[in-house]
């Protein structure tokens, strides 16, 4: 082997190994028009499921690229699914990603996806169908604006304990769930991490690793009160007054019958001087030591479990939803084993059209506001109604 060959061989030995190409198990962008109906199966479990339609919605960044499945009927359940080649995520990252746009300013409804085992009967899919993963936003009123991450383990469904707030602004957003083989996870919104940690810590899959040591108690002199009553504070002399006072202006009704109605008593009125029960003001406790750290011992019931979020027969992605007000658009579905590829895919899809979508959205809002101002300016001023003379005369008599 000549010098050039030796140099090339040395380079190959020193060069880092080529990165394993991403495995793409499922990808759907709805770029082929109505052919999506050949890949997605509507459930027939109920006769009144809502219908999906293919559209980019009322505003978009690119009319063709931003087409997705939109819920089209109010107050309906929805059930639709697509199958992919079965696989196991054992030993590999498991990444689920898609975009969702609640352009209807949703007040109550789901925007999440479910990943099912391959044996799912798609035509009979319903809310009762067992799934492996449920992930995505769910909105109901002002209280519920959350991102669900529910994982199945040993036949039970476990929701994440950490609260994750979803975005509700009418625009398209990218949601990503990453489950790693080291039992760590990440949740991203718009390619930004909003939650991360370990499966053992943020789900109730397993008993806790440690327990409070029952043989050790808090020391008698440990003061965990952050504040204490001010010993120099005294109750004012005029503090104790009754909560209610007798209405001395009240008179017994003429038709009051003591025999049938009992003794008449004048009504009570709230005492404006009543200030409630007196309590001394609080001051910082100089003996405060903080919360006592209870010594921990190993929990004998705890054992690590390498099967957390490991599924052997992943095979179907489904939309199983309820919506009060329809209009949500789902697009850019991806299931892969590469977080970096998912990030690139998100940048090349959602990332390429988001700015144009934002501009169109703002333009529509500004045009609507201008039209409202024009309508108001064109209306004649409202005339104040005069009261008829008879009404005024009657009022003067009163």
pLDDT at 183: 96
Closest to 28 (Cα-Cα) out of 351, 352, 332: 332
- Residues linked to residue 160 through DSSP beta bridges, in sequence order: none
What are the structure tokens assigned to 126, written together?
A: 């319903």
pLDDT at 144: 85
Closest to 348 (Cα-Cα) out of 170, 95, 167, 174: 174
If one looks up domain 20-208+308-363 in CATH, what number appears?
Answer: 2.60.120.200
pLDDT at 380: 67
Task: Give the list of residues 6+ apart from residue 342 with CB closer than 8 angstroms, or none.
Answer: 95, 97, 176, 178, 334, 336
- Among positive and negative, which fits the CA dihedral 343, 344, 348, 354? positive
pLDDT at 67: 96
Instruction: State the Cα–Cα distance between residues 216 and 319, nearest whole angstrom.
Output: 51
Any binding-site annotation on 112?
yes
**pLDDT, averaged in runs of 10, over the chain (398 residues):** 50 45 93 96 96 96 96 96 97 97 89 97 96 96 90 96 93 97 97 97 94 95 95 93 93 90 92 94 95 95 94 97 95 97 97 95 89 79 59 41
**Residue 247 in contact with residue 266, Cβ under 8 Å?**
yes
What's the residue count for the chain?
Answer: 398
Q: If DSSP states are collapsed to H, E and C, what string results for 64-80?
A: CCCCEEEECCCCEEEEE
Instruction: State the Cα–Cα distance between residues 319 and 138, nearest whole angstrom.
Output: 13
What's the pTM value of the predicted model, to 2 decimals?
0.77
**Residue 230 in contact with residue 281, Cβ under 8 Å?**
yes
Phi then psi for residue 343, to 5 deg, are: -65, -45
Residue with tokens 């919104």: 189
DSSP H or E stretch at residue 261: helix 258-261
Kindly list the domain boundaries of the chain, sorted by start residue. 20-208+308-363
DSSP H or E stretch at residue 320: strand 314-323
Half-sphere exposure of 64 (CA within 13 A, CB side): 3
Instruction: State the Cα–Cα distance between residues 398 and 394, nearest whole angstrom.
Output: 6
Instruction: State the Cα–Cα distance between residues 148 and 164, nearest whole angstrom.
Output: 8
Any binding-site annotation on 114?
yes
| Other residues' Cβ atoms within 10 Å of the Cβ of residue 57 | 22
**Residue 331 in contact with residue 57, Cβ under 8 Å?**
no
| Other residues' Cβ atoms within 10 Å of the Cβ of residue 206 | 17
pLDDT at 107: 83
Any binding-site annotation on 138?
yes
Task: Give the list of residues 6+ apart from residue 46 with CB closer than 8 angstroms, or none.
Answer: 77, 79, 126
């Amino acid at each position: 082997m000549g010098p050039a060959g030796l140099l090339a061989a040395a380079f190959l030995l020193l060069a880092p190994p080529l990165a394993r190409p991403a495995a793409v198990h499922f990808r759907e962008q709805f770029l082929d028009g109505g052919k999506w109906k050949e890949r997605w199966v509507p459930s027939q479990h109920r006769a009144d499921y809502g219908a999906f339609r293919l559209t980019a919605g009322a505003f978009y960044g690119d009319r063709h690229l931003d087409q997705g499945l939109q819920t089209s009927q109010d107050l309906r359940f929805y059930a639709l699914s697509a199958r992919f080649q079965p696989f196991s995520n054992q030993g590999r990252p498991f990444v689920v990603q898609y975009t969702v746009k609640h352009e209807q300013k949703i007040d109550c409804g789901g925007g999440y996806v479910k990943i099912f085992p391959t044996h799912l009967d798609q035509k009979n899919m319903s809310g009762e169908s067992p799934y492996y993963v449920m992930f995505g936003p769910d909105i109901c009123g002002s209280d519920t604006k959350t991102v669900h991450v529910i994982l199945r383990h040993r036949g039970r469904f476990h929701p994440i304990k950490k609260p994750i707030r979803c975005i509700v602004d009418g625009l398209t957003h990218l949601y990503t769930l990453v489950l790693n083989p080291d039992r760590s996870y990440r949740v991203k919104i718009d390619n930004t991490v909003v939650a991360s940690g370990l499966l053992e810590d943020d789900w109730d899959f397993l008993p806790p690793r440690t327990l409070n040591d029952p043989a050790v108690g808090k020391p008698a002199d440990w003061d965990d009160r952050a504040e204490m009553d001010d010993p120099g504070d005294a109750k004012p002399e005029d503090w104790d007054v009754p909560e209610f006072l007798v209405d001395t202006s009240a008179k017994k009704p003429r038709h009051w019958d003591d025999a049938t109605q009992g003794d008449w008593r004048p009504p009570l009125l709230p005492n404006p001087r009543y200030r409630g029960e007196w309590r001394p003001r609080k001051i910082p406790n100089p003996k405060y030591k903080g919360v006592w750290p209870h010594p921990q011992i190993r929990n004998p019931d705890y054992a690590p479990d390498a099967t957390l979020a490991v599924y052997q027969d992943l095979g179907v992605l489904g939309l199983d939803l309820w919506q009060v007000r329809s209009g949500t658009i789902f697009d850019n579905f991806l299931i892969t084993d590469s977080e970096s590829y998912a990030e690139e895919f998100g940048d090349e899809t959602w990332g390429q059209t988001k700015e144009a979508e934002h501009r169109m959205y703002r333009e529509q809002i500004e045009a609507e506001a201008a039209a409202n101002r024009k309508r108001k300016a064109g209306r004649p001023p409202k005339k104040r109604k005069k009261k008829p003379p008879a009404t005024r005369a009657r009022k003067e008599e009163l």
